[in-house]
Structure 1
Amino acid sequence: MSSDIPAPLIHFSHRADLDILVGRWGYQPDPRELPAVYQQMTDVALQAKARFWLQDIRRRTLNDPNTTLWLLDKYFPDMARQLGGRLYLAYLVGPALQEAIINRPGYISAEAYDDKPYAISFFGDEGAAIRWLQIQQTDKVK
């Protein structure tokens, strides 16, 4: 029996044991859905004081270029400011989306974020993404 209830666009959880905010995207969103999602993400992150994020976007097939620019130029720097420190984002992506992201014009490697108030890296393996976030946490304690 099939259900007519759509899957949620995103599910958030704060892994207090890891100090990681996890966002699992359920499907490829229409860009018009994103403002409400990012407001929800803001609320959850501020409540948890979470600066280390794992975004599971394996069910997504593309990134909207206008949204990407807004994230990089406005949203991520603003979140870092509101959270009182550098924001770290590990994106868990499927192979096709990772290929599209890396090969798009203007792709910025993880090392290029050194002068930004946020750092982003892409992973095909959840364990590797979590390890990267944990290394960032450890490096910030020293």
Structure 2
Amino acid sequence: MVEREIFESKLHLTYRRDLDILFLRWLLCPDSAQLRDGYRQSLELAKEVQSAYWMFDLRSRGIISPEDEAWMLEQFFPQVEEEISGQSFFANLVTPTHYTHIREGIGLEYLENFGTSAKLGVFLSEQEAIAWLLKSRADR
């Protein structure tokens, strides 16, 4: 297992070799610079451990600004597609309020069909999110 604490415990990155999943858990809401740096550091760790399966626990992070949301969709995920060959799978674990925000503000179908190699899922339960990641690996 590879673990990193970032930003005075606002972000915990863990790579579980047994599951081949990179867990990114926000423990507190970051500011914009911390958010972007945290995701960049998760990309570096994913490249280091060569994992294509990501679990973003966003329950404590909450909803981010429209600017940071746009950065995620327009810059971060395209960067992942550019820097990691093959498909990458992102399970996003959210609260019911955040789920509603995503469904109504971004669109679940939009995220499900987001990129050519980045596949995004949104989940209310960690078990469902991990099951989706494991099934994605089995289907490859």
TM-score band, normalised by shorter chain: 0.7 to 0.9
Question: 1:13 is matched by which residue type in structure 2?
Answer: T
In angstroms, what is the RMSD of aligned CA positions? 1.8
- The one-letter code sitting in structure 2 at the alignment partner of 1:46 is K
Which residue does 2:32 correspond to in 1? 31
Gaps of 5+ in 2: 1-6
Q: Distance in 2 between matches of 1:42 and 1:60?
A: 18
Taking the TM superposition and a 5 Å limit, the aligned residue runs for 1:64-83 are: 64-83=65-84
- Aligned counterparts of 1:119 and 1:102: Cα–Cα separation in 2: 16
The size of the alignment, in residue pairs, is 133
Q: Deviations over 1:66-100 (max 9, x none)?
A: 22222222221221332211111001111111111
Q: Which structure 2 residues correspond to residues 35-74 of structure 1 after superposition, within 5 A?
A: 35-74=36-75
For structure 1, list consecutive stretches of 5 or more residues without a partner in the other structure: 1-5
User: For the Cα contact (< 8 Å) 1:19–1:50, is it kept in 2?
Assistant: yes
| DSSP 3-state at the match of 2:113 | helix
Deviations 1:33-81 (A, max 9, x none): 2232122112211111111100111112212222222222222122133
For the pair shown, which has the larger CA radius of gyration, 1 or 2? 1
1:136 corresponds to: 136
**In structure 1, the residue corresponding to 2:60 is in which secondary structure?**
coil
What is the percent sequence identity of the aligned residues?
A: 29
> 2: distance between equivalents of 1:27 and 1:79?
24
With normalisation by structure 2, the TM-score equals 0.85
- Give me the TM-score of the superposition, normalised by structure 1: 0.84
Residue 7 of structure 1 deviates from its aligned partner by: 5.8
- 1:107-122 to structure 2, matched below 5 A, reads 107-109=107-109, 110-113=111-114, 116-122=116-122
Moved over 4 A (4+): none
Residue of structure 2 in register with 1:3 after alignment: none
Residue 88 of structure 2 corresponds to which residue in structure 1? 87
